Amino acid sequence: MSTTAEVTTTEQLSHEELAELIGEFEQYRERLVNETMTTAQKAKLPKAKVMAQLEPELARIDAALHQLREQQSTLSASN
């Protein structure tokens, strides 16, 4: 995901920018799960199989969210 790469190479993001990125990642994650599950239901695919295929992408999103929250926490602590 290119946004994650951009975040790791960015020298310093403001608290507001971090909050915005976190919100966008959370919305993306929710939308990805909802849209994938809706499509899977229409295709009559088993939920467990769909979630197993979706899990690697969710793990990447969760890792990016964790990193952003750590940056936000560090920024808040230093101010």
> Can you tell me the distance from the alpha carbon of 54 to that of 2, in angstroms, rounded to the nearest whole number?
18
Q: What percent of the chain has pLDDT over 90?
A: 73
Amino acid type, 77: A
The pLDDT tens digits of the residues spanning 11-36 come to 578 889 999 999 999 999 999 999 99
In the predicted structure, residue 6 carries a pLDDT above the cut 50: yes
Q: Given this model, what pLDDT does residue 54 score? A: 97
Looking at per-residue confidence, does 24 or 1 come out higher? 24
- Which value, in Å, is the radius of gyration of the alpha carbons in the chain? 15
What is the model's pLDDT at position 11?
A: 55
Describe the crossing of helices 2-9 and 15-42 by its angle, rounded to 10 degrees. 170
What pLDDT is stored for residue 3 in this prediction? 52
So where are the chain's domains? 14-78
Contacts of 69 (CB under 8 A, 6+ apart): 22
